[in-house]
């Protein structure tokens, strides 16, 4: 199989399989607008402007995003509290115009179960001031905004919209003046520090505020810290008035990682809000970091052979060596997966056409280099995104339906080529096709890159602990783990190319090679069927159906490009037109999320939510948590075998164990954080919790006996 030719062919046909032309970032609901209004089922978002004296230097000019929520839905403040994400605004403005920060109105405390969030319900306007440079003389102000918000009820839906607005530079724009004035009035007013004090006392923050208006004296105030993860949003706290002085004692966040010298706070009563930014007196206690170093979790991490502290320097510890060995083993296992084995098998069979041992060794080294460098690049991308604050883990690329659709298209083309439906050489120009003969090493290198790409949905079952350990290491040690995965995957082909006995043991060239190549198409098609099922979990039956229609048209296009003559060109033109029409008609369904994924709780299983385990164990109930994803092969195997075993289910019922399922099919930062606390960066992960004892993290490959043995200890 000519992989260099195949790469070029994929570039020609990729448009037939990509529903959006680009990967949808973070699985958001994307909504574009040629105007100033974007509407979803949960939110009506509108871009507004207010320039009461025109757009001139020194004059007030405001832009703002107004979010009108459906009943029971809300979005978030700059500090979202226990969960959630603040709304972000990205402006594109003419030269000479600069946007300031959002003048956040005071939020409200919104409870979801045991969680307390800070956000907005009903309708809120987020105003942003503009600074106009002296000499600005344009007649019109063209504004473009990309906004991203998280809207939640009990479930949360990330959404984004693109807005545009043209504002005349001369003359007043006052239609929205009352809305902006109301939003600015709701923004916290600065409160001079004066005699106010913030001080740390043990695990509490003491607040004493002086100078509050007389109208607030004696009232019960709400308090919102602008800095997250310092004060417990849902923690019990006390407040009191001592004459004109308002005092409060607030519990510190159990997983606090910062000890700020200053702490801005907002206090509010009805429509009045005030902000103080004062220094914190006293010594901060050492961060509790319960999720990292608590005795219970420490015992659980020790139960994992490859678990280790988050930061290691100097000489590589035994834990790193164990992680490298596990990564090497995981890479070897990848070669047995149905999406990788055909590539490896065909490459090894190709040795029969190599005339010299030197040529085989060159091919093997180039292939190994392609695999190892690709894994290093994927690892560097993951580490870079995590360092930038993204809540990601291994398998993050498969949490995006556009990536799943693109992989399904790739496997479809691979399978069709192996089955003989089309010949890549008949599609590409002869000059491009001749590159293989001139650069066999480049061809082998690209084969390694392709093998890594198609291995991504086939996560090896023994890589979870190693990768969870790796993401907490310094970059060079973490990349060593990713490199070990690539080396393990390349090792069989590298060994075969270096050992002459392998080439001598292979059968001589003949008709059997054509039959074998066609046989290898069926594992590829099986992988396509699995990927379509995965996409169905992410985008529903409409998304899966749309992808199948696009794959059929992709197959038609691949076949038609191999035809000759006027009739062939006509069919090829028709297939491209059909692709374009299908992309317009059904393509958006592929990346459109469903509110309730198919992996949601059944009658026996409940949805996992942050804080749910603690709530159940506090009531004396044991809990079994299944961290899973539709694209995780091992997860599905365990789910249909061990977790569906009648004996296991009977033991769970006898012990009154609550069953929670944490679905990671789409990106979920809360699940990512929970996995990180367990020292893991991928799924599957299975944990048994019981009040008063360490959580038990079980093996990625479950057996009935292992689960029953752990349940017997409850």
Contact 196, 236 (CB under 8 A): no
User: What CA–CA distance (Å, rounded) separates 242 from 24?
Assistant: 54
Annotate 247-292 with DSSP letters as a single string: EEEEEBPTT-----SEEEEEEEETTEEEEEEEEEESPPPPP--HHH
Edge-to-edge strands of the sheet including 696-697?
A: 606-607, 658-663, 623-628, 685-689, 696-697
pLDDT of residue 66: 92
SS3 367: helix
pLDDT of residue 338: 62
Contact 265, 223 (CB under 8 A): yes
Q: What pLDDT, in 10s, does the model give residues 455-491?
A: 655 554 445 555 555 555 667 777 888 888 888 888 8
- Residue ranges and CATH numbers for the domains of the chain are 3-22+319-591 (no CATH), 33-187 (2.60.40.680), 197-281 (2.60.40), 606-712 (3.40.30.10)
Q: What pLDDT, in 10s, does the model give residues 373-410?
A: 888 887 777 667 655 545 455 555 566 677 778 778 87
Dihedral of alpha carbons 40, 610, 24, 12, sign:
negative
What's the pTM value of the predicted model, to 2 decimals?
0.41
User: What CA–CA distance (Å, rounded) separates 624 from 614?
Assistant: 12
pLDDT of residue 218: 81
**178-192 in b/e burial notation, b at 16+ Cβ within 10 A?**
ebbeebbebebeebe
528-to-20, 546, 632 alpha-carbon distances in Å: 19, 14, 14
β-partners of residue 689 are 623
pLDDT of residue 464: 52
Contact 79, 227 (CB under 8 A): yes
pLDDT of residue 659: 93
Contacts of 358 (CB under 8 A, 6+ apart): none
pLDDT of residue 622: 92
Annotate 399-452 with DSSP letters as a single string: GSHHHHHHHHHHHHHHHHHHHTS--HHHHS-HHHHTHHHH-HHHHHHHHHHHHH
Which residues in the chain come in under a pLDDT of 70? 1-34, 113-114, 154-155, 170-175, 254-258, 286-320, 323, 337-340, 342-355, 382-383, 385-400, 423-440, 454-474, 502-513, 562, 587, 591-603, 631, 633, 667
How many Cβ atoms sit within 10 Å of the Cβ of residue 514? 10
Annotate 640-706 with DSSP letters as a single string: HTTTT-HHHHHHHHHTT-EEEEEE-SS--HHHHHHHHHTT-SSS-EEEEE-TTSPPEEPPSS--HHH
């Amino acid at each position: 199989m000519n992989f260099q030719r195949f790469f070029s062919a994929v570039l020609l046909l990729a448009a037939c399989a990509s529903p959006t032309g680009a990967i949808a970032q973070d699985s958001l609901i994307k909504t574009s607008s040629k105007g100033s209004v974007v509407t979803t089922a949960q939110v009506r978002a509108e871009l507004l402007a207010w320039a009461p004296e025109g757009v001139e230097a020194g004059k007030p000019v405001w832009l703002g995003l107004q979010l009108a929520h459906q009943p029971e839905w809300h979005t978030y403040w700059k500090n979202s509290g226990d969960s959630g994400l603040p709304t972000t605004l990205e402006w594109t403005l003419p030269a000479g115009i600069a946007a300031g920060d959002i003048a956040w109105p005071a939020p409200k405390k919104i409870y979801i179960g045991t969680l307390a969030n800070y956000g907005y319900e009903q309708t809120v306007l987020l105003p942003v001031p503009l600074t106009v440079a002296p000499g600005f003389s344009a007649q019109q102000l063209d504004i473009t905004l990309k906004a991203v918000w998280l809207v939640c009820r009990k479930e949360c839906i990330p959404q984004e919209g693109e807005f545009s607005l043209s504002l005349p530079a001369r003359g007043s724009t006052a239609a929205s003046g009352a809305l902006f004035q109301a939003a600015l009035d709701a923004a916290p007013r600065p409160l001079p520090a004066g005699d106010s004090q913030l001080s740390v006392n043990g695990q509490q923050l003491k607040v004493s505020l002086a100078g509050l208006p007389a109208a607030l004296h004696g009232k019960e105030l709400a308090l919102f810290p602008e800095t997250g993860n310092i004060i417990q949003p849902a923690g019990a706290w006390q407040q009191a008035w001592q004459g004109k002085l308002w005092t409060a004692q607030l519990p510190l966040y159990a997983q606090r990682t910062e000890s700020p010298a200053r702490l801005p706070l907002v206090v509010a009563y009805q429509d009045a809000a005030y902000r103080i930014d004062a220094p914190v007196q006293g010594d901060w206690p050492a961060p509790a970091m319960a999720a990292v170093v608590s005795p219970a979790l420490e015992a659980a991490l020790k139960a994992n052979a490859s678990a280790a502290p988050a930061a290691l320097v100097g000489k590589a510890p035994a834990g790193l060596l164990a992680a490298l060995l596990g990564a090497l083993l995981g890479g070897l296992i990848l070669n047995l997966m149905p999406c990788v084995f055909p590539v490896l098998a065909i490459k090894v069979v190709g040795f029969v056409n190599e005339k010299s041992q030197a040529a085989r060794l060159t091919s093997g080294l180039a292939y190994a280099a392609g695999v190892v460098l690709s894994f290093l690049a994927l690892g560097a991308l993951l580490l870079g995104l995590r360092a930038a604050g993204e809540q990601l883990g291994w398998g993050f690329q498969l949490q995006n339906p556009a990536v799943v659709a693109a992989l399904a298209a790739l496997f479809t083309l691979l399978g069709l080529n192996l089955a003989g439906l089309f010949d890549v050489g008949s599609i590409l120009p002869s000059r491009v096709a001749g590159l293989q003969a001139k650069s066999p090493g480049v061809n082998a290198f690209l084969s390694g890159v392709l093998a890594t790409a198609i291995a991504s949905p086939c996560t090896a079952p023994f890589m979870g602990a190693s990768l969870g350990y790796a993401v907490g290491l310094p970059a060079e040690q973490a990349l060593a783990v990713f490199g070990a995965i690539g080396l393990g995957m390349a090792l069989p082909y590298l060994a075969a190319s270096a050992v002459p006995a392998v080439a001598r043991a292979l059968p001589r060239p003949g008709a059997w090679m054509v039959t074998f190549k066609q046989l290898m198409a069926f594992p590829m098609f099986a992988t396509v069927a699995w990927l379509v099922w995965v996409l169905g979990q992410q985008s529903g039956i409409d998304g899966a159906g749309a992808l199948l229609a696009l794959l059929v048209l992709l197959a038609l296009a691949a076949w038609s490009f191999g035809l000759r003559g006027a009739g062939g060109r006509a069919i090829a033109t028709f297939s491209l037109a059909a692709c374009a029409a299908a992309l317009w008609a059904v393509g958006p369904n592929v990346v459109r999320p469903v509110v309730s994924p198919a992996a949601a709780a059944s009658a026996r299983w409940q949805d996992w939510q942050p804080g749910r385990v603690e709530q159940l164990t506090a009531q004396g109930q044991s809990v079994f948590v299944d961290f899973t994803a539709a694209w995780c092969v091992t997860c599905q195997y365990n789910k249909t075998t061990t977790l569906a075993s009648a004996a296991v289910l009977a033991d769970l019922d006898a012990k009154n164990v609550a069953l929670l399922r944490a679905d990671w099919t789409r990106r979920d930062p809360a699940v990512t954080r929970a996995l990180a606390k367990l020292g893991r960066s991928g799924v599957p992960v299975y944990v048994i919790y019981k009040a008063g004892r360490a959580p038990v993290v079980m093996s990625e490959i479950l057996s009935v006996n292992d689960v029953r043995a752990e349940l017997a200890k409850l």
